[in-house]
Amino acid sequence: MKKFNIRKVLDGLKEVSSSTPSVQVGPQENHLIQETLQSDHFQLCKTVRHGFPYQPSSMAFDPVQKILAIGTQSGALRLFGRPGVECYCQHESGAAVIQLQFLINEGALVSALADDSVHLWNLRQKRPAILHSLKFSKERITFCHLPFQSKWLYIGTERGNIHLVNVESFMLSGYVIMWNKAIELSSKAHPGPVVHISDNPMDEGKLIIGFESGIVALWDLKSKKADCRYTYDEAIHSVAWHHEGKQFICSHSDGTLTIWNIRGQGKPIQTITPHGKQPKDGKKPEPCKPILKVEYKTTRIGEPFIILSGGLSYDTVGRRPCLTVMHGKSTAVLEMDYPIVDFLTLCETPYANDFQEPYAVVVLLEKDLVVIDLAQNGYPIFENPYPLTIHESPVTCCEYYADCPVDLIPALYSVGSRQKRQGYSKKEWPISGGNWGQGTQSYPEIIITGHADGTVKFWDASAIMLQVLYKLKTAKVFDRNRSKEDKGSTEVSDEDPFAIQIMAWCPESRMLCVAGVSANVIIYRFSKLEVTTEVVQLLEVRMQYELNDIESPDCGGGEQTSALPTPGASPQTSGPPSHPSTSSNNSDGGNMPCLKVRSTPLKQSAGYQVDLVVQLVWVSGEPPQQITSLALNSSYGLVVFGNSNGLAVVDYVQKTVVLNLGTVELYGSNDPYQRQPRSPRKTRQPSGGLCDINEGSATSEDRCKSPTSGNMSFSVLFKKKRVFVKRDVLFFPAKMSRKLSLPTELKPDLDHRDNSFSRSRSSSVTSIDKEAREAISSFHFSEAFARKGDSTLTPCLYVGTTLGTVLALALTMPPAGEQRQLQPVIVSPTGMLVRLKGSIMRMSFLDYTGSMLPPAFEPWFEPNVTADGEEREKVRKRRPVSVSPSTSQDLNESQYAVVCSEKQAKVISLPSQTCIYKHSITETSFILRADVVQMSRGVCLACFCANGHIMTLSVPGLRPLMDVNYLPLTDMRIARTFCFTNLGQAMYLCSPTEAQRLTYSQDTCENLQEMLGELFTPVETPEAPNRGFFKGLFGGGAQSLDREELFGEISSGKASRSLAQHIPGPGGLEGMKGAASGVVGDLARARIALDERGQKLGELDERTAAMMASADSFSKHAHDMMLKCKDKKWYQI
């Protein structure tokens, strides 16, 4: 009997109910395409987080496992092993991580948080989990110390007390070191919080305690009293031992270091001011800034290293933060780019009582991680192999491409490897722990990030790793001198005039196009050869349409009229166009671009080389509008870009502007909106922030409506200030146009990169104000049926607007070869395809089988090789789109257009142009990103909504397949950087420095455990240092201590229950549950059940033992009381 599926019935009802009455879903269309994707093919989960930990606060290193841990102010943990082995964890409370301590070579980590909680992490699983937590309620944690190979954790508090925690059970010991016992009568005042705890390297029974006020106490753990106290009149920041345990060093708030003998008479044996000026009269040097941390490391041969951060003189105003390395008589001051958060010295041994032999220093900065080689002269830094430079300049946009051509990553790597800096340490990266995952995911993935300084970075993102491949600096194209000279008066934003706003990339042809905030578009070709470009090719475009009834357009000056033929002119009268201007020199101040293209020769190394620069210029004192949409097609040799005024199509092969048209003019006489003319605006001040990525583009929203209509062709070429009209062109003077203006209080509705949502979210499409502001929001090139009822495919450009309209433009391409260089590209508007609610986000096309139709592309060729013309053209021949209309003519349908707006999605059948499916995605929110993506089993529409939902819909049926409330939009950075790609991958910037990757594919979720790297690997602990014959004979070696006997419950009693609350964590069991899937799932589940049973039995055993101990204690007290009262009279009791 066939299984009844209520879900499919409900899906069918939903589709029918959401369709408009005009949409007819007949049985023929229903059975046309068999959809293969189902709901169980989708699952959403985070995969990996890349980049530098945002706002780091602490750091720890396991010298045996060679794993680095970094904690942040938001409670995140990032663990780093060898390149490619990274892990991200998060404390639920979100409190800042104030300190981290590894259980060295045990696969565990202790974290102390600002909310006075301590957590034990299990690192022996691919996704670390918390085993135990302890929450202090009466005292605030200030410092933690865990001796090597000890299970007792010392916790210092703000009150000056020290508590002990057993890291195995995470239970408090009854042994407490009270501040008043530690200092006794050495100070009349409270000594302040505990800032340091460490045991003597040669005697585990002696503990040094540093108090903030300047008092240091040497505590004898056995006798429970202080052996000695050391007082200094400046606050202490840190303390470090000499490995022999006879001396220690303190760093102070006045920039001094004091070295003490443990048997000293209360005075330091040496006081050093590393950066203080020594007065000639022998007085104390002037105070310096506090030395925040000091480390004292010894070597077998040579002088010890004293490494410190801070301590600079107060008169060094503007000097960068420094790390100072003192070795013998030499002092090296190493300047850092950012403030120092913490540093650690990496040593050859984990034993504190042996010569340390330091070989490197890991310096954690606010925005970088630096590792310094101590073994080489000059202290060079190691080349950092982690992808920590995402934020080198703030990310303004990003794109994600999965399943790229296989030769792309090697090509980018080969040109990128030549960009590497020299002077790094020749040694291997010292943080080398863990093992790579054994994943089977092998398709190439590339992430491209655009940055505020104009750089574009290409990253290899294959197999959940990330590595920078190549870096492109787009600012090299422009002359930087202008902004320096006119810094006080320039209208260009001095902050980020080169910021990247949108990127379009064709992986097959390797053509790249970027749009900047200064209203410029740069087109790049990829070359493996270095070249010097004498003159950068430039096109200047005016897209203002601010022309009133009596003025003629001034874009061509006085020469424009003579350059334009009359409407009845013969097409043959226009000669072949000249090449465009190659400079941007303009004497007319009102016709200037935002940035000046460099006029000197440009040396371009191998990689991406500029082919053409297109600039929108100022018109009549008005700055150009920022570009809001961009697309390129390498097969057609066209780039199209649009803004709130209209669109321009550029032929980058002939270096000409093919079309420059206002949005209203795209409709012709079929404009569905009744746009009323408004009075012209008064003279307005230019917008000073037009080039700022965070500013809106609220200037010059005026339009003109052309009286022309019908299928007319436009092809306009700009040369300096002249306008040349190509053959087959009809052009009507703009004086016949009428001018529209908008209320000044309207905010821009297209700037996705603003810090707040300023777009009008009304679903109504009849608002006059909105209509007048109609802007271009998306483009799509495809070979399709341009007109209703067409029987042949033609190259088309589809244009989506902010009012939800999709318009089609037919492209007439010249023949390949020499004719492509000479004959013009003809663009013919063919009318409106469909209208949706909200701004158009994405368009895509399917063939009659439901397979996605990729845009036609041109294979990559080396542009700088002067090959024979025939060979060159063979390589450059256009790849045809694999669509066979003849096989589907019986059904009278050959293609499906999938269109998604910020509110709904529709599927249009071509060439009949009928809507066959419609789905309302959201009513109360709006879509931020939508992509039609190729999954392993079919095609789907993926959407990210502003309310945090991630959804997938089947195509062409638009059945909801997945809807997960993933992440509410808390930051515009997420909206700006979120992107989907093929095979169920997605990413976004979760912080200014970190990229979060996720998957919505069930297959990837199932394989994720195998793909993740191992943090913990079995490594033998190095042997303890040899005590030597004489030290063993005379007792000069390290003294051990039975901490269990001293701190255990039998000798020290129980801790106060009100002091801290023990919270058992999910531990390894949760991680194992996640791994219990696949072939061995049943075995793993059985093992989990056994482990849970064992854990419960263990807890029962612990409770029984505790009850027995309590009974024994009660019996002992009762017996003592009986003996005490035995010989007393009743009135003496």
Condensed to tens digits (0 to 9), the pLDDT of residues 401-456 reads 999 999 999 999 999 998 878 889 999 999 999 998 876 667 899 999 999 999 99
Beta carbons of 620 and 554 less than 8 angstroms apart: yes
Quick one: which H or E segment has residue 611?
Answer: strand 607-616
Nearest residue to 324 (alpha-carbon basis) of 270, 236, 251: 251
Nearest residue to 1062 (alpha-carbon basis) of 162, 178, 131: 131
Nearest residue to 555 (alpha-carbon basis) of 731, 743, 742: 731
Beta carbons of 612 and 539 less than 8 angstroms apart: yes
Residue ranges of the chain with pLDDT lower than 50? 1-31, 483-493, 546-589, 678-771, 867-871, 874-892, 1029-1030, 1032-1034, 1068-1081, 1084
Q: What residues form DSSP beta bridges with 784?
A: 794
> Rounded to whole angstroms, how far apart are CA atoms 1011 and 22?
49
Quick one: which H or E segment has residue 1116?
Answer: helix 1081-1125
**Cα separations (Å) of 525 from 255, 398, 658, 860?**
55, 19, 20, 9
% of the chain surpassing 90 pLDDT = 56
Q: What residues form DSSP beta bridges with 388?
A: none
Give the per-residue pLDDT at 676: 53
**pLDDT tens per residue across span 1002-1058:** 999 998 988 899 999 999 999 988 765 445 444 555 666 677 777 777 666 676 777
> Rounded to whole angstroms, how far apart are CA atoms 1091 and 1084?
10
Residue 107 CA, chain-centre distance (Å), reads 28
628: tokens are: 């809001």
Residues whose CB is less than 8 angstroms from the CB of residue 91 and which lie 6 or more positions away in sequence, other chains included:
75, 76, 77, 97, 111, 113, 119
Residue 641 CA, chain-centre distance (Å), reads 26
> Rounded to whole angstroms, how far apart are CA atoms 380 and 423?
7
Judged by DSSP in three states, 415 sits in helix
Residue where the block lists tokens 């101040």? 589
Residue 101 CA, chain-centre distance (Å), reads 27
Give the per-residue pLDDT at 464: 86
Quick one: which H or E segment has residue 470?
Answer: strand 467-473
> Rounded to whole angstroms, how far apart are CA atoms 620 and 543?
12
Beta carbons of 964 and 949 less than 8 angstroms apart: yes
**Residues constituting the chain:** 1133
For the beta sheet containing 904-910, the strands, ordered from the edge strand earlier in sequence to the opposite edge, are 840-847, 895-901, 904-910, 914-920
Residue 149: HSE in the Cβ half-sphere, 13 Å Cα cutoff: 13
> Which ranges in 908-1022 belong to alpha helices (H)?
972-977, 1002-1011
Beta carbons of 592 and 620 less than 8 angstroms apart: no
Residues whose CB is less than 8 angstroms from the CB of residue 47 and which lie 6 or more positions away in sequence, other chains included:
464, 997, 998, 999, 1004, 1008, 1011
Nearest residue to 468 (alpha-carbon basis) of 382, 390, 392: 390
Give the per-residue pLDDT at 971: 83
241: tokens are: 């031992």
Q: What are phi and psi of 704, to 5 degrees?
A: -125, 145
Beta carbons of 414 and 526 less than 8 angstroms apart: no
Q: What residues form DSSP beta bridges with 176?
A: 163
> Rounded to whole angstroms, how far apart are CA atoms 613 and 513?
10
Please work out, in degrees rounded to the nearest 5, the angle formed at the alpha carbon of residue 1011 by the alpha carbons of 1006 and 1014. Answer: 125
461: tokens are: 């993102």
What's at 533, amino acid-wise?
T
**Count of helices and strands (H, E) across the chain:** 16, 61
Nearest residue to 980 (alpha-carbon basis) of 182, 537, 622, 447: 447
27-49 burial string, b = 16+ CB within 10 Å, else e? eebeebbebebebebbbbeebbb
Q: What are phi and psi of 633, to 5 degrees?
A: -135, 115
> Rounded to whole angstroms, how far apart are CA atoms 951 and 962?
5
Residue 774 CA, chain-centre distance (Å), reads 32
DSSP 1022-1065: PPPPP--HHHHHHT-SPBP--HHHHHSHHHH-BPPTTTEEEEE-
What's at 622, amino acid-wise?
E
Beta carbons of 116 and 97 less than 8 angstroms apart: no
> Rounded to whole angstroms, how far apart are CA atoms 951 and 970?
18
362: tokens are: 């890991």
> Rounded to whole angstroms, how far apart are CA atoms 430 and 358?
12
DSSP 320-350: PPEEEEEETTEEEEEE-SS-EEEEEEEES-S
What's at 783, amino acid-wise?
E
> Rounded to whole angstroms, how far apart are CA atoms 288 and 310?
9
Beta carbons of 700 and 687 less than 8 angstroms apart: no
Beta carbons of 790 and 911 less than 8 angstroms apart: yes
> Rounded to whole angstroms, how far apart are CA atoms 623 and 490?
12
